[in-house]
Amino acid sequence: MTTHPTRGVTAPDKVDHGCPAAVGRQYPGGARGKALELHEVSKSYGSQPPVMALRRVSLTVSAGELLAIVGPSGSGKTTLLHVMGTLERPTSGTVRIDGTNAANLSDNQLAALRAHRIGFVFQQFFLAERQTALENVADGLLYAGVDARTRSEQAAQALARVGLAQRERFRPTHMSGGERQRIAIARALVGAPALLLADEPTGNLDTQTGDQIVELLLELNTDGTTIVVITHDHALAERLHRQVHVRDGRIMSDTAAGNPYADAKDE
């Protein structure tokens, strides 16, 4: 049985550190808040000696941005995803999601933060094969304190948003890879999160289907969704508005900042 990596808490605590937990922020009139802030974030594993996966990473993602974090295998981008998504705590540094300092939260509160403010899309889809598309998407609200009827209604709206309104009663086993990824994207969006994190969203798809998923992400961003895509695919990254290149646990370049970080030094 595959366990969804963002689940595991049956009764998450309310997050009330300055902003409502259940709201995926919209910033009308062009005003931009900060969906994600990392300041001097490092992550190490082990102690004999420690392996540095991230080295003093600082990154700000404004609401409404669409960017790629791109790097080869072993560059630290997956660890960066885990830290951005509060799936792992950093060894040092600060992570803020939609203004909330993750360091101030308990494990249950972090689970609630993920349920309300972060949507995840993974290469492997993580869909329940015996459930319909509608049921899979509704599960995205399972830990958000939403009643069953409202979950179903919002799931139907999310599926329509990704072009699967006519397929909501189908099971993933009867759907294509592209359709399965659309279900996963709908599930990530159903709670109107402040931030959507997509880990290699085209990695298991053929070129044509992958292009369709990228087009969908572009459309969702045009509608106001803040999206960070983690990828090793430079061609995919170049289609997005901003590219952040990582290597050896460091940010080497960021097209938004115009700073090559070429003089980054070891800690």
pTM: 0.82
- What is the distance of C-alpha 74 from the center of its chain? 19
* Burial class of residue 20 in the structure, from the number of CB atoms within 10 Å of its CB (0-12 exposed, 13-18 middle, 19+ buried): exposed
Under DSSP, the state recorded for 50 is: P
Radius of gyration (C-alpha) of the chain in whole angstroms: 18
CA distance 69 to 244: 5
Under DSSP, the state recorded for 89 is: -
Q: Given this model, what pLDDT does residue 140 score?
A: 87
CA distance 117 to 75: 26
The phi and psi torsions of 60 (rounded to 5 degrees) equal -120, 130
pLDDT tens, residue by residue, 43-69: 999 878 889 999 999 999 999 999 999
How many C-beta atoms lie closer than 10 Å to residue 241's C-beta? Answer: 14
CA distance 188 to 198: 9
- What tokens does 122 get? 């993974």
Q: Given this model, what pLDDT does residue 14 score?
A: 36
The phi and psi torsions of 58 (rounded to 5 degrees) equal -120, 130
pLDDT by residue, tens only, the chain of 267 residues: 344 554 433 233 333 333 333 333 443 333 468 999 999 999 999 878 889 999 999 999 999 999 999 999 999 999 999 999 999 999 999 999 999 999 999 999 998 899 889 999 988 889 999 999 999 999 988 877 789 999 999 999 999 999 999 999 999 999 999 999 999 999 999 988 999 999 999 988 999 999 999 999 999 999 999 999 999 999 999 999 999 999 999 999 999 865 544 344 433
CA distances from 225 to 118, 196, 206, 230, 251 (A): 11, 7, 25, 16, 24
How many C-beta atoms lie closer than 10 Å to residue 257's C-beta? Answer: 14
pLDDT tens, residue by residue, 251-260: 999 998 655 4
Q: Which of 116, 157, 118 is nearest to 134 (CA)?
A: 157
- What tokens does 229 get? 């895509």
Q: In what order do the strands lie in the sheet with 195-199?
A: 118-122, 195-199, 227-231, 66-70, 242-247, 250-254
Q: Which residue has the tokens 């705590």?
A: 89
219 CB-near residues (< 8 Å, 6+ apart): none
Q: What's the one-letter identity of residue 56?
A: R
- What tokens does 236 get? 């995919």
